[in-house]
Structure 1
């Protein structure tokens, strides 16, 4: 009898939740940084699906240019007494920078009511909590970084995927001699150079060293950090990297690959959002960032994206309903199918979803072989250090002989920022 009572109570609670959700009404404001065409189309698809599920909610959906969103808009939103109700954002220190100042709402109840702890691995759970252990972030997808290349150009020149740094340099030389830009690069936005520094430091000094550096525990003037730039300088001085990269956005540099002018590009898998879908299978492939020291553990990058609710959001019930929808298996499967993003949820059948996308299995294999997975320079260190650091990396591209001065400036910044 007690079991029947429990079942009736549970059923009643379920019906009450369902009724309250179906009866939700009023406004909901969602601002997104998914401004590139394919992610924006997916974002629209998700919003439309949510509107059908909750017809009583009047949803305002705004898309802001990715760079403007992360550099300016989000701080304006969070400083307002009437911010949007749901925002796209990034895991890691980018999220902690807001939660540490109580700018993100506690969504532990949303996590618990959706049983996400049962389907979200502990590593992603940790990325979603503030310093007190409360959930403030919803991670939904992640992706790998690698060196992308034009496999038709490689085939034409008889080149193979380089596995070591020396092989990478040799491939770069052959491409340059054949009249190609060996490596596309972009520095109009500084973040692509964060990727270069991350991989070079992890390959030279190991991912644990890199983690300590981004945590502010190691001086930028440490000789081991300077050693990283000796490898970077080999690419700069031999003109293997696209020259004058500060004139190019990441999309501009990707277009050089699409046009067949450049052959390689260190980038996240979102490069596929830019690449013509009808050509990608025949032309685009990637390989793991080359090994420099085989004795060093392997670190990789897997930035994690998701959502949060600003602490001052007004339409909390509607925002939490939208967060529940965004974190659902349904939306995770949609993102996998439409964008090729890896779902955070471990109950999504990625083998079936990606059976016609062998490149996804290749990307997963790269991450599976890693000894440690990092987020990205501007997510692993604090925002101000990230900005100053990436400015320094961009400066290095045009002034490689000023490395001592650049690292001294970064060290001055590190001491000030991490002493606060």
Structure 2
């Protein structure tokens, strides 16, 4: 993920976060400080002020990494009225501690279950909704269309299609699948999608929340399918030596053909590959399993101890509106969660809109969906399996012990 330059010193940050002003001021704390989102939300805040001239808005921007640390402290003490955050387990952490307000009534009033269907599952805990999602992006397979055409390959729709395409590419001395697992998390995308396609979203989320053992046969089956790519050598050799960025040149110079990754890779494509890069949805394995997707989602919430909840609710409703999500996502080059909003006319975003609009539901990503301790050890295990698949039993037994310790 992109790192943002610090906007406030730690002392200024602590002071600014300490209070949320009086009731007629709406205090919003945001980590959207990179140039594109910063400009987008300047427009959004100006528009909100114009529509609500009686509301004094104080919009505070913070460095993303400092924000992740600070939010845990000030949510429990004297929070602002609105906070920016993330869906999935990261949201659940605060919901479980009674630090976010239930905003199910906003979802009902605005009929958001109809207009944001693919975000519903990631925003719902105990049958209630706890925030408003405003942007997300697809994860899928980015591939060299010219290489596929050269070897007579079509976009894989099924697991067997993927295996067949990989065999053909491997036979022509091309690494079928680029990946860099030095920082672990890219391997988690493969675990997520194999589990979602084999066992479905509910099973996957039950596993993420510690309700299913890693030694369960259904989890073991995920690795059985994964082995069908690992054993023949379909992944980039020495992938544990590369970061996700360092693995990209293999795709760009044509020595690798596919990459399972998020849409944040698209702006990195070299100009000379214009028209040569394509995208396809992770293939179907079991046609009887509803098709869910990984779709990391950014959100806004009302802290339970906020002072000005009346105006905070106005801002959440404002951010749920289709035209405002269109405005924000045009700057972010991402996808609005409101299906009535419009994304920028871009090949990869159009693909993402199509995939996510038709998804039966969404997960966030392994390290956003499960407990941080489980995520850390799980991703270590995934990388280890890709390098030493014969260690599977030891890996699963180790992960099961971590699950039992983590989810007591």
Greater Cα radius of gyration, structure 1 or 2: 1
Query: Could you tell me how far apart the structure 2 residues matched to 1:322 and 1:188 are?
Result: 40
Confirm whether residue 410 of structure 1 aligns to residue 399 of structure 2.
Answer: yes
Cα distance 1:219–1:317, how it changes in 2: closer, same or farther (>3 A)? same
Aligned to 1:11: none
- Superposed CA deviations along residues 279-308 of structure 1, whole A, max 9, x for unmatched, are 665022122223334455544333332223
Superposed displacement of residue 27, structure 1: 6.7
- Superposed CA deviations along residues 257-293 of structure 1, whole A, max 9, x for unmatched, are 23444211112223223334x5665022122223334
Query: Could you tell me how far apart the structure 2 residues matched to 1:105 and 1:183 are?
Result: 43
Superposed displacement of residue 151, structure 1: 0.9
Confirm whether residue 90 of structure 1 aligns to residue 67 of structure 2.
Answer: no
Aligned to 1:390: 379
Aligned to 1:381: 370
User: Does the Cα contact within 8 Å between 1:94 and 1:383 map onto a contact in 2?
Assistant: no
Query: Could you tell me how far apart the structure 1 residues matched to 2:306 and 2:168 are?
Result: 55
Q: Which moves more between the two structures, 359-368 or 310-319?
A: 310-319
Query: Could you tell me how far apart the structure 1 residues matched to 2:41 and 2:360 are?
Result: 37
Confirm whether residue 245 of structure 1 aligns to residue 257 of structure 2.
Answer: no
Query: Could you tell me how far apart the structure 2 residues matched to 1:51 and 1:295 are?
Result: 45
Q: CA RMSD in A?
A: 3.6
Cα distance 1:304–1:247, how it changes in 2: closer, same or farther (>3 A)? same
**Which has a greater percent of helix?**
1
Confirm whether residue 156 of structure 1 aligns to residue 150 of structure 2.
Answer: yes
| 3-state SS in 2 of match to 1:188 | coil
Aligned to 1:165: 159
Superposed displacement of residue 408, structure 1: 0.5
User: Does the Cα contact within 8 Å between 1:251 and 1:274 map onto a contact in 2?
Assistant: no
Cα distance 1:300–1:130, how it changes in 2: closer, same or farther (>3 A)? closer
Cα distance 1:361–1:57, how it changes in 2: closer, same or farther (>3 A)? closer
Cα distance 1:324–1:62, how it changes in 2: closer, same or farther (>3 A)? farther
TM-score (norm 2): 0.77
Cα distance 1:316–1:257, how it changes in 2: closer, same or farther (>3 A)? farther
Superposed displacement of residue 343, structure 1: 2.0
User: Does the Cα contact within 8 Å between 1:165 and 1:292 map onto a contact in 2?
Assistant: yes
Q: Which moves more between the two structures, 82-91 or 389-398?
A: 82-91
Cα distance 1:346–1:148, how it changes in 2: closer, same or farther (>3 A)? closer
User: Does the Cα contact within 8 Å between 2:138 and 2:352 map onto a contact in 1?
Assistant: yes
Query: Could you tell me how far apart the structure 2 residues matched to 1:59 and 1:48 are?
Result: 9
Confirm whether residue 286 of structure 1 aligns to residue 279 of structure 2.
Answer: yes
Give structure 2 stretches of 5+ with no counterpart: 1-22, 51-55
User: Does the Cα contact within 8 Å between 2:119 and 2:362 map onto a contact in 1?
Assistant: no
Aligned to 1:48: 42
Superposed displacement of residue 138, structure 1: 1.6
User: Does the Cα contact within 8 Å between 1:138 and 1:327 map onto a contact in 2?
Assistant: yes
- Aligned match for 1:275, one of 269, 285, 288: 269
Superposed displacement of residue 106, structure 1: 5.3
- Aligned match for 2:335, one of 335, 342, 345: 342
- Aligned match for 1:100, one of 96, 107, 113: 96
Cα distance 1:102–1:369, how it changes in 2: closer, same or farther (>3 A)? closer
- Superposed CA deviations along residues 342-393 of structure 1, whole A, max 9, x for unmatched, are 3222432x4xx56x44554544444466555433333443443333322221
